[in-house]
Amino acid sequence: MKKILIQIKTWLQSLSFRTGVIVLIMCVCFYILSFAQAFIPSEYLSAEAKVVLWTVLFGMAKTCQYGGLTIVGVEGYKKIKNAIKGNKKKEEQ
């Protein structure tokens, strides 16, 4: 089992930076959907269905989060962080 996980990690790390960013954006979308479904009226969706939806969507968000961070890596994370900080500095001026 450990060998399979290492192979998956190696494969994810071989993907491009752009792919990692796309997966992280999907992560944000899944987080939004997982909490937004709570606002659907009960007459349209039962409580049990909401629990199942939340579990699936939140699980997908976490999977995309860890997968995206593995794809992007430490250097890519620093690159994204610096890009966000750079945009904030430009807005302040």
| End-to-end CA, the chain | 52
- 46-68 pLDDT tens trace: 889 999 999 999 999 999 999 89
Tokens of 28: 């944000």
Integer Cα distance of 90 and 93 in angstroms: 5
Average confidence score pLDDT of the chain: 86
90 pLDDT band (50/70/90 cuts)? low
Enter the DSSP assignment of 17.
H
1 pLDDT band (50/70/90 cuts)? confident
